[in-house]
Chains A and B, each alone.
Chain A
Amino acid sequence: MSTLTSSPAARGSATESRHLLGWTLALAFGLAAPWFIYPTFLMKVLCFALFASAFNLLLGFAGLLSFGHAAFFGASAYVCAGLAKNLGLSPELSILGGTTVAAALGALFGWLSIRRSGIYLTMITLALAQLVFFVALQMPFTGGEDGLQGVPRGALLGLLPLGDNQAMYYFVFAVCLAGFWLIRRTVHSPYGQVLKAIRENEPRAISLGYDVNRYKLLAFVLSAALAGTAGALKALVFQLASLTDVHWHMSGEVVLMTLLGGLGTLLGPGVGALVIVTLENELADKVGPWVTVIMGAIFVVCVLAFRRGIVGELLALRGPRSDTPPGGGH
């Protein structure tokens, strides 16, 4: 392999230019895609890719398994739908509203759950999310079992109507791209390095003087806010916020997407979202309840034999890396 002989600096710039090429290709593909693929499908994939990437920021990089991410996704979907439908706010303000609520919820969940670690944290997030589910079920403005339907997409900045699927797609694409970029920046920043250090060895991070809980909390808020953005976008795309969005099955689904795509990789959650959304779209009518069985089976196979996920396995094929998948040790 050529990298063995090249100097670290050269290797760095080679990686850098490869990344640049990758991003350019992704951008070109993303811009061209709605002309030959059904835009609604693409938007669904994008929303879930952002959701899974946000979730992965917490699990893959900080090592915190939240089983309550549906709460952020769903609460934001409801708030965004409510703002757009009942108050007639513009799409960007509705999304901002949803994201803000999700971030606040993230701060609350994070503050409560980081009092315990490991599986306790997981159970706490799950239970808190169930609380949000019941609120969504019972509150007068959420439409109960029916959810909020017929949410208007409105016009971006009051100028660009988003009713058209192509226009909506480019808006969703732009927002998601910004989200992915933010996640990438976070992971590669000194803050992201501290998160990884906490994931790998928390006592050591503490002894180095890091205020571990503050770092974890910030990761929680960031992850929740981005998950909220994804939920709000989804509510506008499908013009619907429903109990499915806050149900804990949704939390399970986002875990599955991340695990299948590759925990702790930047691309993985997006790939996982693509695979799962495609599977669901293809299978939903044909096999009925077997979709759940197939999802469960994918979970089992991933955990037993395929822990690095699709992207993780590909990276591993490319050669040994210094990054070990999270959860290998502890």
Chain B
Amino acid sequence: MTLFGLSSQALFGQLLLGLINGSFYAVLSLGLAVIFGLLNIINFAHGALYMVGAFVALLGLEYLGMNYWVALVAAPLVVGLLGVVIERGLLRHLYKLDHLYGLLLTFGLALIAEGVFKYFFGVSGSSYAPPEQLQGGVDLGFMFMPLYRGWVVLASLTVCVATWYVIERTPLGATLRAATEKPQLVQALGINVPVLVTATYGVGVALAAFAGVLAAPVMQVNPVMGSNLIIVVFAVVVIGGMGSIAGSIVTGLGLGIVEGLTKLIYPEASAVVIFVIMIVVLLLRPAGLFGKQA
């Protein structure tokens, strides 16, 4: 079977790869959006914390015999706690200042994390085997789908939708959104906003770590895996517009697919297609596809 002169195997294979990358973009830009919403900080360390998440899984397996499913819970917890420490110890001192200082501080943290992991593990990276239950694949008729890849898409989508539901549809989410708009007022209602802020940062970076564990079996685990990804995610954020949670999910997935298709049709452009889209979107809708016009 062929479509547009391409075999369906290649087409759907590339679509699936795009969908997987898109899942990572979605989870990461979602975490950035959650953190930005309440802390007003662009978390430049997000990519580094994603990398740390992958390493927690890898090291957990090597030294503690921690299996994949445990790592999927443990890594977000570890990194989330790390996030709490970062927020309490460092970011807290910056809220009264220009947003740019938060970006610069988290950039410094990213450099530190990258350097430390480079020292201990070099740059080449190691591989992490997918869990037994998800090895192999199924023949869907039009394509062969490795099980693990299907799981990545499913797990990311579930986490994204769950996060969207909590923020947009629950009382906790309502409080969060209110605290974003009027922190003083929410504080006056007896809600501990600083604790809310700390928890939000913890959850945001836990999302990054979750993506890191998901990525470990499909990408090489290495110290720079986050720094390469984070810039694309920034572009995704600019395209989607930081305003909406749903926007980061839809844009992330969509751009992943577009990137995957470009790889098939015109491979040379696949590394730059997202940036080109960013330029076009900026020209037409400076606030992003889902952002509110400032």
Known: A289-B118, A289-B119. A127 touches B111 (CB 8 A): no
Interface with B: A114-122, A164-172, A173-181, which one? Answer: A114-122
Asked if B115 and A327 make an inter-chain contact with CB atoms under 8 angstroms apart, the answer reads: no
- Which of A120, A135, A259, A300 is the one whose CB lies under 8 Å from B109? A300
Known: A118-B99, A135-B272. A296 touches B234 (CB 8 A): no
Asked if A252 and B235 make an inter-chain contact with CB atoms under 8 angstroms apart, the answer reads: no
- Which of A126, A288, A296 is the one whose CB lies under 8 Å from B119? A288
Known: A291-B115, A300-B105. A119 touches B231 (CB 8 A): no
What separation, in Å, do the CA atoms of A122 and B271 have in the docked complex?
Answer: 20
Query: What DSSP secondary structure best describes chain A's contact surface?
Result: helix
- Closest residue of A by beta carbon distance from B223: A289
Q: B219 — which chain A residues lie within 8 A by C-beta?
A: none
Q: Digitize B86-118: 1 where CB-to-A-CB distance is under 8 Å, 0 elsewhere.
A: 000010011001111101110111111111101
Known: A118-B99, A127-B238, A128-B279. A303 touches B286 (CB 8 A): no
Q: B189 — which chain A residues lie within 8 A by C-beta?
A: none
A31 at interface (Cβ–Cβ under 8 A)? Answer: no
Q: B152 — which chain A residues lie within 8 A by C-beta?
A: none
A321 at interface (Cβ–Cβ under 8 A)? Answer: no
- Closest residue of A by beta carbon distance from B101: A303
Q: B118 — which chain A residues lie within 8 A by C-beta?
A: 289, 292
Known: A127-B278, A252-B107, A290-B119. A304 touches B90 (CB 8 A): yes
What separation, in Å, do the CA atoms of A326 and B238 have in the docked complex?
Answer: 25
Asked if B110 and A296 make an inter-chain contact with CB atoms under 8 angstroms apart, the answer reads: yes
Asked if A119 and B100 make an inter-chain contact with CB atoms under 8 angstroms apart, the answer reads: yes
Q: B107 — which chain A residues lie within 8 A by C-beta?
A: 252, 255, 296, 299
Q: A291 — which chain B residues lie within 8 A by C-beta?
A: 115
A328 at interface (Cβ–Cβ under 8 A)? Answer: yes
Q: B101 — which chain A residues lie within 8 A by C-beta?
A: 303, 307, 327
B283 to chain A, nearest CB (A): 7
Q: B12 — which chain A residues lie within 8 A by C-beta?
A: none
B282 at interface (Cβ–Cβ under 8 A)? Answer: yes
Asked if B108 and A298 make an inter-chain contact with CB atoms under 8 angstroms apart, the answer reads: yes
Asked if A293 and B238 make an inter-chain contact with CB atoms under 8 angstroms apart, the answer reads: no
B19 at interface (Cβ–Cβ under 8 A)? Answer: no
From residue 294 to 330 of chain A, which have CB atoms closer than 8 A to chain B? 294-300, 302-304, 307, 326-330
Q: Digitize B234-258: 1 where CB-to-A-CB distance is under 8 Å, 0 elsewhere.
A: 1101100010000000000000000
From residue 256 to 305 of chain A, which have CB atoms closer than 8 A to chain B? 259, 288-300, 302-304
16 more CB-based (< 8 A) A-B contacts, given A289-B116, A296-B115, A330-B99: A115-B286, A116-B294, A119-B99, A119-B100, A119-B103, A122-B42, A123-B237, A127-B275, A127-B278, A130-B235, A255-B107, A295-B115, A296-B110, A297-B112, A299-B104, A327-B100
Question: What are 13 A-B residue pairs whose CB atoms fall within 8 Å in the complex?
Answer: A112-B283, A118-B100, A119-B99, A119-B100, A124-B278, A127-B278, A128-B275, A137-B271, A138-B271, A252-B107, A300-B109, A302-B104, A304-B93
Using CB atoms and an 8 Å cutoff, list the residues of chain A in contact with chain B: 65, 112, 115-116, 118-120, 122-124, 126-128, 130-131, 134-135, 137-138, 248, 252, 255, 259, 288-300, 302-304, 307, 326-330
